[in-house]
Amino acid sequence: MSVTINSTSLKKLQNSLRGSSITGFACNTATKHNRSGFTIVELLIVIVVIGILAAIVLNTFSGVQARARNTERQTDMKSLASQMEIYYSSNAGYPLASALDYNGTPARTGSDIAALLPGIDRNAVIAPGAAGGVTNSIDNIVPGITVTNIYGYIAYDSNGTTLCTVAPCSKYKIYWTEETAGSTAAIQRSRDSLN
């Protein structure tokens, strides 16, 4: 014998049996479970999206920092160039490269540069990224250097091609290398003397 119960009657029967002590009565109905929380797939998707966004932000931030350091280099070189012109007007020439060289003999410090170029900001002779404790990043180097944490200074005789060995020098060129975010290629910039 079979008994047919419609869905409304079944729900009434289930509600009335809840909390009762009747056993052995099986009800073959699908029950819905209330979910609380996220599935593992949903969590993985969220983690991947957050990772992608973090990578984009970090890449953008890195580019901003490189541009800021490049702007600092350009500002330092403008300051150095203006102090060189002041030195030129007072001494009828530019200083020897060895007078500014941190790597020479004797090694020149930020104090030596400040004594030679009294109006220079001491921070203008320290390249961004220079090691801690460095007081001078100017080196007597030739063009073609691709290191970003030093500045190059070369003094020339009046022809503009022969290195000056006796002060006062007639011309100079200062060099610096810009960072290029996301690339290993370095861009070298230079500034010539006004005379």
Report how far apart, in Å, the C-alpha atoms of 153 and of each of 84, 117, 137, 142, 187 are: 11, 14, 10, 8, 17
More confident position, 184 or 174: 174
* pLDDT tens string 103-143: 887 889 989 999 999 999 989 999 888 888 888 888 887 66
Residue type, 164: C
Please tell me the distance from the alpha carbon of residue 164 to that of residue 169, in angstroms, as a whole number.
6
Q: Where are the domains of the chain?
A: 40-192
Instruction: Enter the tokens of residue 88.
Output: 């030129």
* pLDDT tens string 58-82: 877 778 888 888 899 999 999 999 9
Lowest model confidence (mean pLDDT) among 43-57, 113-127, 173-187: 173-187
Q: What is the DSSP letter of 166?
A: S
More confident position, 37 or 31: 37
